[in-house]
Amino acid sequence: MVFYQDDKWHICPKIAEYRAYGKLKRSYTNNPKWWESFVSKWWHHEGLKFIEVTPTQAQLDRLELCNVAGIAEGFYSAVANYVESGITSEGLPDSFTQQIDLSNSNKLWKYEQLVTELIQEEVDAYNKANGTAFRDVHSCKNYADDNTYTHYQFCNDVWAWNVSMWETARQILQDVATGVVELPDEEEFVGMLPVFGA
C-alpha cells in the first residue's frame, strides 16, 4: 500500500488488478505504466485494470506515524503491513501498537480470493471427471434441491461446503480483528478451512 520517495512514505494511488494463468491478482502500485508494460509482455497475464486507492483516516494516521518516526526504506514490509492493516512487526518502534484492521486491506481481498479459488477448484475438478460444465458453485446451487438430478449429490455437497467455507473464513477474520488469533499467513489460513468431502 506504500512506496518510499523523497525520504518519506506515501500511499500508492492505484491497485493493479489482472489475471495470471487465469487467477485474479492484485498489487498496489505507484507506477501504472510499469504494469501496462509487464502485463503486455507475457501471454499468461491479461485483463489489466487499475483501481483507485482510497485510504482510511486510520491508514493515513499510521502512515504519518511512520514518517514522523523516520522509518527507513529498508523496512518496506513492516511499514506496508502497519499502514495497511495495523500489524506491528520487527523494524517498527516499540511505541507502535498493533490494532489489526483488515476492513480496507488488500489482505482481506487475498483471503477472500483464496476461498473463491479453492471452491472453484473443486467445481472444475468435478467438471473434468464427470463431463459436466458447471460454471461455478452458484451454478451447482441451481440443482442442489433436485434430488432426481444425476449430479444432485455433488451439487448439494459442494454448496453446503461453500457455505461452511465462507462461514469459517469470516469467523477466522473476525477472530483476527478481535485479537483472538494471530493473523495467519495464506498457507495457515487454508489449513484452517474445512476440506471438501471430509
Q: Domain check: are 122 and 56 in the same one?
A: no
Q: How does residue 180 score in pLDDT terms, banded at 50, 70 and 90?
A: confident
The whole domain housing 47 covers: 2-85
At 8, list the grid cell: 518519506
Contact 2, 14 (CB under 8 A): no
Number of alpha carbons in the 13 Å side-chain half-sphere of residue 57? 0
One domain, residues 134 and 75: no
pLDDT digits (tens, 9 = 90+) for 53-68: 999 999 999 999 999 9
Output the pTM of the full model.
0.80
Does the pLDDT at position 178 exceed 90?
A: no
- Mean pLDDT across 142-159: 93
pLDDT band at 4 (very low <50, low <70, confident <90, very high): very high
Our count of domains for the chain comes to 2
Distances (CA, A) of 184 to 60, 94, 96, 191, 195: 25, 22, 20, 10, 18
